[in-house]
């Protein structure tokens, strides 16, 4: 990161935007003392001298607190303990007073949690809010929220926004990092855009419409945000009407109700619904990632048995999982090894690819998907999120599946890559691959899918296609229709 100016005013919510690898995280880490700066100075209100921030403790003393995407609290301690842990109040903690203080803060911030409750019994959103409450109580003047909303559902996001607005009124300056454009426009006052480790500019929210923001982030004017679909991207093979995969009364041990499902050759369909409605569980059941309890699955009209992922893979089904870090990447292994893994497993234990073959595959897909990596030997964990996702995608494409399941392939990655992935999905479908696409962002689904299965409370509640494919119709189906 080089030469970035950044100003945060009292009582303002300031969005920090940029693609993956633009330098957002680096900026935050310098502000909080995780990284040391090479040059430049940091000034705080009421100080006429540059602040010295060498460690997170220094930052905390100066009133700079950070709440990260992943909860960094201790789930097996109580809410109050989490709020006061390691705050240097010394031994002889007065537990009663601590709990009372904690309750007061929680109440003042309108957080529905009790001080004595064990943290792990709260929802993720509440845990996030407790983390914020902890920060606020530390006399914080600057609050940094790093992707706080990525694991929250719509309602929870609204609650969080309420809290942010409340803090803003109290004069706290908030730096808000997110990938969700909607959310930026909902709460922020100002936007600072970074690109390639450099400052692009600081803007008032009113002066920067969405399209322009995206253009600034990508560094080029973008005019195809709206429509990436066209007729050339529809599969026109003779077998276009054939059902590739079909499931009847499928139920897994992950707690979803039995459901029916089918997909045709060259079709792109999707599961939609709120977070936790059972979208992922459905596709996991199809792929054999969870244990199947009931039901029957057919592939190309023939009955098959899928009891574990390898069965599905042998039948030409590929699955890109929802959680890239936990289920997708093998962090310490190289990009090359990550790309060839699935095909290699399919090929068998005693038939490893030669190094040359592996490099050929890897280089081919690095080029095809424009994966930004130093080399095929770089460990995948050192790539940015979007590029990691491309590697996982490459892994499954290398298998040349008949049916590809993509569960949240665009989560947490930058807009440029998002669009690339969407385009790729349509292109693959036009070549005859069947794709199931799941995304939290409805407009993304609308742009890619020709049919949507709607889920509510772990049950399939409807199916939309053709003219019914509108934002409103989806919303009303999710919410429970006209009742």
Q: Contact with another protein (CB under 8 A): which of 56, 63, 309, 432?
A: 309
Q: Contact with another protein (CB under 8 A): which of 42, 274, 346, 461?
A: 346
Give me the residue label for tokens 């009303």: 476
Q: Helices (DSSP H) in 279-381: which residue ranges?
A: 279-287, 309-314, 335-347, 355-368
Smallest gap from residue 71 Cβ to another protein (A): 14
Touching another protein, residues 69-128 (CB under 8 A):
75-76, 120
The two counts, helices (H) then strands (E), for the chain are 16, 16
Q: Contact with another protein (CB under 8 A): which of 30, 62, 132, 341?
A: 341
The answer to whether 174 touches 12, Cβ cutoff 8 Å, is yes
Part in contact with another protein (CB under 8 A); list of ranges 10-18, 203-211, 239-247, 302-310: 302-310
Q: Does 321 bind another protein (CB under 8 A)?
A: yes
Q: Does 327 bind another protein (CB under 8 A)?
A: yes
Q: Does 344 bind another protein (CB under 8 A)?
A: yes
Q: Contact with another protein (CB under 8 A): which of 9, 124, 211, 310?
A: 310
SS3 27: helix
Q: Residues with Cβ < 8 Å from 98, sequence gap 6 or more?
A: 80, 81, 84, 115
SS (H, E, C) 364-416: HHHHHCCCCCCCCCCEHHHCCHHHHHHHHHHHHHHCCCCEEEEECCCCCCCHH
Part in contact with another protein (CB under 8 A); list of ranges 190-198, 209-217, 218-226, 324-332: 324-332
CA distance 303 to 299: 6
Structure token digits, residue 296:
């029957």
Smallest gap from residue 286 Cβ to another protein (A): 13
Part in contact with another protein (CB under 8 A); list of ranges 64-72, 128-136, 348-356, 437-445: 348-356
Smallest gap from residue 347 Cβ to another protein (A): 9
Smallest gap from residue 349 Cβ to another protein (A): 5
User: Beta strand 434-438 with 190-195: parallel, antiparallel or unpaired?
Assistant: unpaired
Closest C-alpha among 325, 28, 69, 277 to residue 179: 69
Q: Does 308 bind another protein (CB under 8 A)?
A: yes
Part in contact with another protein (CB under 8 A); list of ranges 53-61, 162-170, 305-313, 444-452: 305-313
Part in contact with another protein (CB under 8 A); list of ranges 33-41, 196-204, 260-268, 320-328: 320-328
Q: Does 333 bind another protein (CB under 8 A)?
A: yes
Strand partners, 302: 299
Structure token digits, residue 139:
């006399």
Part in contact with another protein (CB under 8 A); list of ranges 16-24, 109-117, 173-181, 325-333: 325-333
Q: Does 349 bind another protein (CB under 8 A)?
A: yes
Part in contact with another protein (CB under 8 A); list of ranges 174-182, 220-228, 318-326, 450-458: 318-326
SS3 252: strand
Smallest gap from residue 57 Cβ to another protein (A): 20
CA distance 252 to 295: 9
Q: Contact with another protein (CB under 8 A): which of 11, 201, 331, 480?
A: 331
Compare residues 397 and 415 and give the one whose CB is closer to another protein.
Answer: 397
Q: Does 332 bind another protein (CB under 8 A)?
A: yes
Dihedral angle sign, alpha carbons of residues 259, 441, 308, 362: positive
Secondary-structure percent of the chain, ordered helix, strand, coil, rounded to 5: 40, 20, 40
Q: Does 199 bind another protein (CB under 8 A)?
A: no
Q: Contact with another protein (CB under 8 A): which of 47, 100, 345, 368?
A: 345
Q: Does 291 bind another protein (CB under 8 A)?
A: no
Smallest gap from residue 337 Cβ to another protein (A): 6
CA distance 215 to 208: 10
Smallest gap from residue 2 Cβ to another protein (A): 12
Compare residues 30 and 341 and give the one whose CB is closer to another protein.
Answer: 341
Q: Does 2 bind another protein (CB under 8 A)?
A: no
Phi first, then psi, for residue 364 (nearest 5°) are -60, -50
Smallest gap from residue 430 Cβ to another protein (A): 27
The answer to whether 436 touches 247, Cβ cutoff 8 Å, is no
Compare residues 236 and 325 and give the one whose CB is closer to another protein.
Answer: 325
CA distance 58 to 46: 16
Q: Does 328 bind another protein (CB under 8 A)?
A: yes
Compare residues 309 and 432 and give the one whose CB is closer to another protein.
Answer: 309
Q: Does 36 bind another protein (CB under 8 A)?
A: no
Q: How many CA atoms within 13 Å lie on the side-chain side of 150? A: 19
Contacts 24+ apart (CB under 8 A), 164-168: 164/13, 165/13, 166/109, 166/110, 167/109, 167/132, 167/136, 167/143, 168/11, 168/12, 168/13
Q: Contact with another protein (CB under 8 A): which of 352, 457, 471, 481?
A: 352
Positions touching another protein (CB under 8 A) are 75-76, 120, 287, 289, 308-310, 313, 319, 321, 326-333, 337, 341-342, 344-346, 348-352, 395
């Amino acid at each position: 990161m080089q030469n970035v100016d950044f100003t945060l005013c009292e009582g303002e919510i300031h969005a920090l935007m940029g693609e993956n690898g633009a330098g957002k995280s680096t900026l935050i880490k310098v502000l909080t003392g995780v990284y040391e700066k090479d040059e430049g100075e940091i000034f705080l209100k009421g100080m006429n001298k540059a602040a010295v921030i060498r460690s997170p403790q220094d930052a905390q003393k100066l009133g700079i607190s950070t709440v990260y995407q992943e909860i960094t609290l201790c789930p097996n301690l109580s809410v109050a303990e989490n709020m006061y842990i390691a705050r240097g109040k010394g031994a002889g903690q007065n537990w009663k007073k601590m709990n009372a203080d904690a309750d007061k803060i929680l109440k003042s911030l309108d957080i529905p949690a009790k001080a004595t409750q064990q943290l792990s019994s709260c929802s993720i959103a509440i845990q996030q809010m407790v983390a914020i409450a902890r920060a606020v109580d530390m006399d914080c003047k600057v609050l940094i929220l790093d992707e706080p909303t990525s694991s929250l559902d719509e309602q929870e996001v609204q609650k969080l926004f309420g809290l942010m607005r409340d803090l803003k009124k109290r004069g706290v300056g908030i730096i808000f990092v997110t990938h969700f454009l909607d959310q930026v426009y909902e709460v922020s006052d100002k936007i600072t855009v970074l690109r390639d480790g450099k400052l692009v500019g600081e803007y008032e929210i009113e002066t920067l419409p969405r399209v322009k923001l995206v253009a600034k982030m990508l560094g080029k004017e973008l005019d195809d945000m709206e429509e990436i679909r066209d007729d050339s991207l529809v599969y026109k093979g003779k077998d276009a009407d054939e059902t590739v995969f079909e499931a009847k009364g499928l139920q897994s041990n992950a707690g979803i109700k039995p459901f029916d499902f089918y997909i045709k050759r060259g079709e792109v369909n999707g599961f939609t619904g709120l977070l936790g409605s059972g979208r992922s569980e459905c596709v996991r059941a199809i792929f054999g990632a969870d244990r199947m309890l009931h039901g029957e699955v057919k592939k190309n009209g023939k009955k098959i048995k899928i009891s574990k992922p390898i069965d599905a893979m042998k039948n030409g089904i590929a699955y890109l999982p929802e959680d890239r870090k936990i289920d997708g990447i093998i962090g310490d292994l190289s990009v090359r090894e990550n790309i060839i893994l699935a095909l290699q497993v399919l090929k068998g234990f005693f038939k490893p690819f030669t190094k040359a073959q592996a490099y050929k595959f890897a280089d081919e897909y690095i080029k095809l998907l424009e994966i930004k990596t130093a080399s095929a030997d770089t460990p995948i964990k050192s790539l940015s999120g979007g590029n990691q996702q491309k590697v996982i995608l490459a892994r499954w494409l290398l298998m040349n599946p008949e049916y590809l399941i993509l569960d949240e392939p665009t989560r947490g990655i930058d807009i440029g890559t998002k669009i690339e992935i969407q385009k790729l999905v349509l292109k693959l479908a036009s070549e005859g691959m069947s794709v199931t696409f799941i995304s939290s962002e409805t407009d993304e689904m609308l742009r890619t899918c020709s049919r949507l299965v709607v889920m509510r409370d772990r049950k399939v509640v409807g199916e939309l296609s053709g003219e019914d494919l509108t934002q409103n119709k989806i919303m009303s189906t999710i919410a429970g229709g006209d009742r």
